[in-house]
Chain A
Amino acid sequence: MNVIQAPSQLAHPGKPAAATLGLVDVDIHPRAHGLADYKPWLSERWWNYAQEYGARARHGFTGGQPPFPKAQPLACRRDAWPPGGGTPASDLNFLRSHHLDAHGIDVGVLNPLQPSGQGDRNNGFSAAMAHAVNEWQLETWLRPEPRLRGSVVVPYEDAAASAAEIRKRAGDPNFCQVLMMSRTAEPAGNPRYWPIYEAAAEAGLPVAFHAFGYSGWAMTNTGWPSFYIEEVSEHATSCQNQVTSLVVEGVFERLPALKVVLIECGFAWLPSVAWRLDRHWRHLKAEVPHLRRAPSEVIREHIWVSTQPMEEPEVGRHLKDVMGWIGWNRILFATDYPHWDFDDPRAALPATLPEEHRRDIYGGNARGVYGF
């Protein structure tokens, strides 16, 4: 039998054959060369503040930087440093050739990380930075490259300022979601954050929780771990807390249109969290009378998850069971480019997953949730 490759595969050797509904990468991390990249959109007051005081994460002693050294420099693939200089994913042309073109990515979602001002102790600075980062995304990435979509970076510890920033971006097709971090100063369902979700629902934008966030709290319930391997594994538990809080506080009862996307936090834990919540909810309904439906039902209606880094159980069927429970239409493909734990689209999804599900994970599901 002659195998004829689709033209798109010939042009993009790294595109998986199953991506027949397009290849959407929901986790790309663009990086500024430095704070000066944001200067055009910072007022003189905030530019001077950035120079004189700088970012102040709620974490002590970290200078706004991640508290655990990463496996690789800047936590990046060693082959992702642009040949022309600069840090990984700081150069649009290299991002195009090394990532978008090589893999035939039809749509790539940008999730800018620090320095973005998110979670800064100075709310005013956080809001100014978030606005500047959004303008920088538009100018540097989104207008020049139609395959890219931005995330609305919000100063999430100041919900009113966040809602204002979301409303500025509402209706702009360059932005496809609102971006929060998975570790906030209080659990994400707390009513202090609700203006963010109201503005997002009103704008028709899903809210993404991406792993990390320097909230001042240790990343485990028993304090600071010793190793980076613990930090990366605990991203899952950070999202467990956020999902539990969002569901139990009644955010989705209040905002039935709200969609939440969990990025880089895994997903195999989601069924067990839901089962446990269901069990307790049956006994404790009276404590949370606003929660009218079983938590598992709410979760499966409002939560989407992303693949990278995906759990890899020894028995392939276990992965299928978990994915099936979450919903084959709820799982979005992500690479995490340019970070060191990047997933190659050709190798990320095991061939044991039925092809129509791989097709949906690669592209169809993201088109659904984001309306691409």
Chain B
Amino acid sequence: MSQTTAAPRRHVVAAVGEIPPGGRKLVEVAGRRVVVFNLDGEFFALGDRCPHQGGSLAAGCVTGHVSSPGPGEYSYSRRGEMVRCPWHYWEFDIRTGRSRFDPNRVRTRRYEARVEAGAALRDAVALPEGPYRAETFAVRVEDDYVVVDA
């Protein structure tokens, strides 16, 4: 049961400069594919696998939120804050992982992501695992890093 679930570990997934505003990076943490987004300096991490048929959200397009109070009226907001699966165009809120069409029931997993200073990270985090090991790097005390809890 859930008592045995381990607390999430911190994973350094990128140096801050590696993911510019509007950019994203596909990483593997704790055996899971996770896509990390930068929304104007805020970082968000979502499970990469679309809950529909498994398309990679990292390969989808990023768009805004189109809403309508009624036929013939439209507004476009939250530019750059929605990601759409490259296959069937299912749309997810990058901030929450919730789907556009059924936010309460259909979502992709959201992971905590934030920026931490290198000095605070040394000896305290798990480095990325798995096939992405080649992308690992030394954490330098003078730089900032994107950290994902998983």
Known contacts A78-B61, A340-B88; A348/B53 CB under 8 A: yes
Scoring A residues 356 to 368 as 1 if CB is less than 8 Å from chain B, else 0, what string do you get?
0000000000000
Asked whether A78 lies within 8 Å of B60 as measured between CB atoms, the reply is: yes
Asked whether A79 lies within 8 Å of B54 as measured between CB atoms, the reply is: no
Do most interface residues of chain A lie in helix, strand or loop, or is the interface mixed?
A: loop
Asked whether B54 lies within 8 Å of A346 as measured between CB atoms, the reply is: yes
> What is the bound-complex CA distance between A340 and B88, given in angstroms?
6
Q: Does B122 contact A (CB under 8 A)?
A: no
Total interface residues on B, CB under 8 Å, equals 12
> What is the bound-complex CA distance between A45 and B113, given in angstroms?
63
- In the assembled complex, 18 residue pairs joining A and B whose CB atoms fall closer than 8 Å, in A order, are A71-B89, A77-B55, A77-B87, A78-B59, A78-B60, A78-B61, A78-B86, A79-B56, A340-B86, A341-B87, A341-B88, A342-B87, A342-B88, A344-B53, A344-B55, A344-B87, A347-B52, A347-B53
Q: Does A91 contact B (CB under 8 A)?
A: no
B residues in contact (CB < 8 Å) with A: 52-56, 59-61, 86-89
Q: Does A72 contact B (CB under 8 A)?
A: yes
Total interface residues on A, CB under 8 Å, equals 13
Asked whether B89 lies within 8 Å of A72 as measured between CB atoms, the reply is: yes
Q: Which of A299-345 contact B (CB under 8 A)?
A: 340-344
Asked whether B53 lies within 8 Å of A340 as measured between CB atoms, the reply is: no
Do most interface residues of chain B lie in helix, strand or loop, or is the interface mixed?
A: loop
Residue of B nearest to A344 (CB): B53
With a 10 A CB-CB cut-off, give which of A72, A78, A340, A341 has the most chain B CB atoms: A78
A63 to chain B, nearest CB (A): 25
B18 to chain A, nearest CB (A): 22
Asked whether B86 lies within 8 Å of A79 as measured between CB atoms, the reply is: yes
Residues of A contacting B88 with CB < 8 Å?
A: 340-342
Residues of A contacting B52 with CB < 8 Å?
A: 347
Q: Which 7 A-B pairs give the minimum distances between C-beta atoms?
A: A78-B86, A347-B53, A79-B59, A344-B53, A79-B86, A71-B89, A77-B87
Residues of B contacting A340 with CB < 8 Å?
A: 86-89
A74 to chain B, nearest CB (A): 13
> What is the bound-complex CA distance between A366 and B87, given in angstroms?
25
Residues of A contacting B54 with CB < 8 Å?
A: 344, 346-347
